[in-house]
Amino acid sequence: MSPSNIGTSNNYGAEIELTAPLAYGFKLNSSFGVTRAIWGNVQFIDPATSEPISLKGRTAPFTPTYSGTLGLDWEQPVGAGLRIGARADSSFVGRSYWDPQDAASQNAYQLLNLGARIENDTFTVAAHVTNVTGTQYNSMYWSAVDVGTPYNFARIGRPRWFTVSATVRF
């Protein structure tokens, strides 16, 4: 079965970004956006009931109500051509629906990531932790009714993840 357009929606949004150098080697970067995606007068067969329903006024799928990021970078020379640095960044994602009838949704969630590095012009050694708080969220969801199986399926978002890397430049 190929995807198809089930009807029109009215979409409105705005986004703002800000990057600012701060004192003592810090740099702030941020973004924030809001989106409103509302169905028009669309008739839809609800897979759960096999009955026609109007989607008018419901939220279009895969459209978080807001999303944003906030990051703080720091870098400092320490002598002999070496630099140390650190980064903390977070992302914020508002509630979104997975289906046209607004039956399944992902609640708002926040993620926090931390990293540190030491480097010069020849090498970089870095460590990074993704999803420091272990936030549980889904990046996709399919209800059993929608996919014709006895089970619901969800793609689980990235768990807490530790990485260490080394780079050598020739």
Over 80: is that where the pLDDT of 5 sits? Answer: no
**Confidence at residue 141, expressed as pLDDT on a 0 to 100 scale:** 87
Q: Grade residue 149 by pLDDT with cuts at 50, 70 and 90.
A: confident
**Confidence at residue 147, expressed as pLDDT on a 0 to 100 scale:** 75
**Confidence at residue 157, expressed as pLDDT on a 0 to 100 scale:** 92
**Confidence at residue 46, expressed as pLDDT on a 0 to 100 scale:** 86
Over 60: is that where the pLDDT of 1 sits? Answer: no
DSSP 158: P
pLDDT digits (tens, 9 = 90+) for 103-146: 889 999 999 999 999 999 999 999 999 999 999 999 888 888 77
Classify 102 in phi/psi space as left (phi over 0), alpha (psi -120 to 50) or beta.
left
SS (H, E, C) 81-126: CEEEEEEEEEEEECCEECCCCCCCEECCEEEEEEEEEEECCCEEEE
Q: Where in the chain does DSSP place strands (E)?
A: 9-21, 26-39, 43-46, 51-54, 66-79, 82-93, 96-97, 105-106, 109-119, 123-130, 138-142, 153-156, 161-168
> What's the token pair of residue 42?
């669309």
**Confidence at residue 28, expressed as pLDDT on a 0 to 100 scale:** 98
Q: Grade residue 4 by pLDDT with cuts at 50, 70 and 90.
A: low
For range 6-33, the mean pLDDT: 95
> What is the overall mean pLDDT for the chain?
92
Q: How far apart are CA 100 and CA 120, in angstroms?
A: 51
Q: Grade residue 3 by pLDDT with cuts at 50, 70 and 90.
A: low
**Confidence at residue 140, expressed as pLDDT on a 0 to 100 scale:** 86
DSSP 24: G
